[in-house]
Amino acid sequence: MLARRDRMEPARADELNRRLWEQMERYQQLWSGMPVYTYISYRREADTRRLVRELWKRGIPVAAPRTEDGRMEFYRIRSESDLTAGYRGIPEPVCGCEKAEEERALVIVPGAVFDLQGYRIGYGGGYYDRFMAREPGHETMGLAYDFQVVPRLPVEEYDLPVGKILTTSGLLP
């Protein structure tokens, strides 16, 4: 699935991200004012950068993940200058950003593939599953292109599903 996503032509990725953005605009939970914790898209991941810029414009708090010593935490970001290239060049908050500690936020979760029950296969570190287990009060939403959603995935005991998946065709389930 990652190979298929990463092989997309730039024009195709732009088209899918345009369609995904149209779905994001319709999803009222994003615009409710609740803080949003989101990954910052990298390479051909479902794009979050436009979303982050729009959230900033609307004054909605945004936080992005940074991993340290095997643990993922979210830190508030207020501009592009709050981001730096981290592990493998993945954008993450610079040191000095304020730790995000909301009791309730909408957490946008990346994944290589999702299933219709909300389970996902990520990138192998288990960071999001551990975060969701540690902070279960947050709403969670996967962000994916339609081809990244399959009927069912194998599930391990520590895997946690996301509450919803927003795709280029709409909201699941």
Binding-site annotation: residue ranges for ATP: 120-128
Residues of each annotated binding site: 40, 45, 120-128
Please answer whether residues 36 and 62 qualify as being in contact, where contact means their C-beta atoms are separated by less than 8 angstroms: yes
- The Cα–Cα gap between 153 and 132 comes to 19
- The Cα–Cα gap between 173 and 166 comes to 9
Q: In degrees to the nearest 10, what's the CA dihedral of 130, 5, 106, 114?
A: -60
Residues of each annotated binding site for substrate: 40, 45
- The Cα–Cα gap between 23 and 83 comes to 26
